[in-house]
Structure 1
């Protein structure tokens, strides 16, 4: 695995830059690195806001479901290891602005939605492509995505598995700011600065109120998603879905 996490603190803003080339697949190690960084920054009283971004043009292509142990897990339940780290990310107490310059797909979309805000370029793409894979949505998205963009829009994204442009999802609330080419990080940092100039204790208290029981709700959702994914992971349709996506063709599903 080639996961790498870099952290830079600039005044009251911390920038977490992650990478796992070539596709920035989400792995247990990558999520653990992001969660570790967030926990460390939570203990830094000078940091008031975090920018989360990728070192490459691609934000995150999701989990590698095609490769053996693509999650990079160590135990017998890779999905659970993966989601344990996701819960740690949601538990971070400080606001996060995700800077998205490319595709945020599947678990990559889940990571983007775990942030409080999203700044994206016009070239970014968003997809909850789980059913195209013969799989069940994960990363808590069946809770977080409807909470963010509404039940109907979330259902559309889940059940079509379509890929959406920034200009399509920005009016839904999935993207908060659209950055011109070459200005993504500057825009994300400026957004973070508009938060970080405010009183730190008030920022923490207000965010905690807004998110209330979110971590508990996401944890409960992840347990359900995990159980459904385990059921579907052994089906013929899942194997066909993964093959079809890798071969860039429609799946030939049989319902078994």
Structure 2
């Protein structure tokens, strides 16, 4: 299903889709368009999936059929990560289900994360695929996770359930499936409405090294 953008008052809720929500070129274009709208119309951004998946990340079928466009594709994905990392509004990923690989990286790029407590895994499986992290992807994860958590997550492919992810500071909190969107909106509402230019400038400074590394691919 195509991603959709809805609003809870001044909070933009971007639904990534109802299936595995892999990053096809069409999906990436639609997400970028919705982010344009949220940036101008909302005071904060929540992203989520529907059902079993938050996102399984890279569209490996498309990539396998379009190997000549691999550098462009990875560059486009990393531009999305960089955009979310420095987004000029408060951001929160409501991780409703499985978040794997680039899908987990998308969640990590947000300011905050709430994960479903009873089902779903958060995992960077690159070590087992095996596909090494790009410098930009590694910089993103290392910018957002505690050092020892990053070592475990990146080098072992460990699958974190919600409570374990919260204990390891992979996510900030957990909620049940029926409560996760309300929990996300309630958490982000008190910090919504800050000056976007200032918020964006602060994040760009905080994450300069990661943003630079992410944007270095595909240019």
Common topology (TM > 0.5)? yes
Q: Could you tell me which runs of 5 or more consecutive residues in structure 2 were left unpaired when the two chains were aligned.
A: none
Partner in structure 2 of residue 253 of structure 1 = none
- Whose radius of gyration is greater, 1 or 2? 1
Partner in structure 2 of residue 127 of structure 1 = 123
Contact persistence 1:71–1:79 (CA under 8 A): no
Point out which structure has higher relative CO (alpha carbons under 8 A, 6+ apart): 2
Query: Partners in 2 of 1:176 and 1:25 — Cα distance?
Result: 24
1:114 aligns with 2:109: yes
Contact persistence 2:53–2:96 (CA under 8 A): yes
- The alpha-carbon distance between structure 1 residues 71 and 140, as it changes in their structure 2 partners (threshold 3 A), is farther
Contact persistence 1:128–1:157 (CA under 8 A): yes
SS in 1 for 2:99: strand
1:61-210 superposed matches below 5 A: 61-65=56-60, 67-69=61-63, 75=69, 77=71, 78-122=73-117, 123-138=119-134, 140-196=136-192, 199-201=193-195, 205-206=198-199, 208-210=201-203
Query: Partners in 2 of 1:94 and 1:171 — Cα distance?
Result: 26
Q: Could you tell me which runs of 5 or more consecutive residues in structure 1 were left unpaired when the two chains were aligned.
A: 228-256
- The alpha-carbon distance between structure 1 residues 112 and 137, as it changes in their structure 2 partners (threshold 3 A), is same
Query: Partners in 1 of 2:200 and 2:211 — Cα distance?
Result: 18
SS in 2 for 1:38: helix
Partner in structure 2 of residue 230 of structure 1 = none
- The alpha-carbon distance between structure 1 residues 79 and 147, as it changes in their structure 2 partners (threshold 3 A), is closer
> Aligned pair count?
216
Query: Partners in 2 of 1:63 and 1:92 — Cα distance?
Result: 21
Superposition RMSD in Å: 2.8
Partner in structure 1 of residue 209 of structure 2 = 217
Query: Partners in 2 of 1:12 and 1:184 — Cα distance?
Result: 18
Contact persistence 1:28–1:82 (CA under 8 A): no
Give the number of the structure whose residues are more often helix, by fraction: 2
Query: Partners in 2 of 1:53 and 1:72 — Cα distance?
Result: 28
- The alpha-carbon distance between structure 1 residues 223 and 188, as it changes in their structure 2 partners (threshold 3 A), is closer
Query: Partners in 2 of 1:139 and 1:166 — Cα distance?
Result: 27
Contact persistence 1:28–1:71 (CA under 8 A): no
Q: Give the TM-score taking structure 1 as reference length.
A: 0.73
Pick from 14, 17, 40: which aligns with 1:16? 14
Q: Give the TM-score taking structure 2 as reference length.
A: 0.84
